[in-house]
Structure 1
Amino acid sequence: MPVSQQPPETETKPVTDSVPKVAGDVAVGEDLDFQRRWWRFEKIVWTFFLLLIICDLIGLFGRGYLAKAQRTASDGTLRLTYERIERSSTPSIMTLHFGPSAIRDGQIKLFISESIVRRLGAQRISPQPAQSVVGNGGFTYTFPATTTPATVEISLEPSFPGREHFNMGVVGAAPIGGSVFVVP
């Protein structure tokens, strides 16, 4: 008699769940030490983002209260308002206000250092100077003026991040020095 091949007997076990249940729901354990560390991490991250937003609002990254600066020459010939914190490739305005003693023979002669034009990217000067002279580490501009208030605006657009120092002043008067920090 031929031996018939029978499939091997397989044991069938019911599938059981190894996760404990409480009242029919899965009981999930907790690791309170991990949870406390996670909460501490979240608090640090939220504090960091809050400080970042506050710094941005007050102008630490440009265009705010801390970014605005003002300098005045000791003899009162020139008052300068500008942004001490600027962003790279972003336009800004440097405004020069001249006092009555800055006007000599119906004109104002202004010296600005080379760093304003080259490193801070002076794009335009308004009003246009009647004369420009290059030399002595900067530029001397002559503007016609008969009365005060006389104002000149220099449009800046710095190209590279970093700290840039500058000097400017009415020729023959006390100069103003300052610096601009350019952020990326």
Structure 2
Amino acid sequence: MPKVDDEIAVGEDLDFQRRWWRFEKLVWTVFLIVIVCDLAGLFGRGWLAKAEASTPDRALIVDYERIERANTPSTMTLRFGPAAIRNGHVQFHVSDAVVRDLGAQRIAPQPSTSTPGRGGISYVVPVTAAPAAVQIQLQPAAPGRYTFKIQLADAAPITRRVLVLP
């Protein structure tokens, strides 16, 4: 390579340069897709991750995140309609998956009673007025796909799946 004006001469390979530009465009496209998916909640904590499920009569409505992150706190909210409230109390059952797999940390307001059995725990919560709500603080410990069930006493369960990412 000859020097020009005492500068370092650099050769050029247009075929390599074009391949490199194509590779760069591909990498930037992948980065853009990942950022958009993250902002939308595909990796948790966005509008795609949030979900709602309810019984047909809307006596129980469950707000949860269908995509969660391991070791990251989240909240599952149970909202109860007037049909769920009996004698100033709401009785509901959560499956073992909520406690064990999704890592239930605490329930607010505090239940007056909790009874283990039937593949989960049954709670009785005092309620002053409808609509009422109970929040379950979750913190899943391990990645995986988990199926949980929540039901009112003597009602069909709400069954949903949660994907926990690392």
TM-score, normalised by the number of residues in structure 2: 0.95
Task: Give the Å deviation of 1:144.
Answer: 1.4
- Residue 160 of structure 1 is matched in structure 2 by 142
Pair 1:138 & 2:120 matched: yes
- 1:100-139 equivalences under 5 Å are 100-139=82-121
What's the secondary structure of 1:155's corresponding residue?
A: strand
- Residue 45 of structure 1 is matched in structure 2 by 27
- 1:52-131 equivalences under 5 Å are 52-131=34-113
1:75–1:174 CA contact under 8 A, matched in 2: no
User: In 2 relative to 1, CA 26–144 (structure 1 residues): closer, same or farther, beyond 3 Å?
Assistant: closer
Q: Which consecutive residues of structure 1, in runs of 5 or more, have no partner in the other structure?
A: 1-18
Q: Which consecutive residues of structure 2, in runs of 5 or more, have no partner in the other structure?
A: none
What's the secondary structure of 1:118's corresponding residue?
A: helix
What is the aligned-residue identity percentage? 58
The total of aligned residue pairs comes to 166
1:88–1:182 CA contact under 8 A, matched in 2: yes
Task: Give the Å deviation of 1:31.
Answer: 0.8
Deviations 1:81-131 (A, max 9, x none): 111111110100000100000012221110100000011000000011111
1:132–1:142 CA contact under 8 A, matched in 2: yes
Give the Cα separation in 2 of the matches to 1:76 and 1:59. Answer: 26
- Indicate the RMSD between aligned Cα atoms, in angstroms: 1.3
1:120–1:158 CA contact under 8 A, matched in 2: yes
- Residue 12 of structure 2 is matched in structure 1 by 30
Greater Rg over alpha carbons, structure: 1
What's the secondary structure of 1:172's corresponding residue?
A: coil
Deviations 1:22-79 (A, max 9, x none): 4554443211111111011111111111111111100111111111111111122101
Q: More displaced, 104-113 or 158-167?
A: 104-113
- 1:172-183 equivalences under 5 Å are 172-183=154-165
User: In 2 relative to 1, CA 171–24 (structure 1 residues): closer, same or farther, beyond 3 Å?
Assistant: same
Q: In the alignment, residue 23 of structure 2 is paired with which amino acid?
A: F
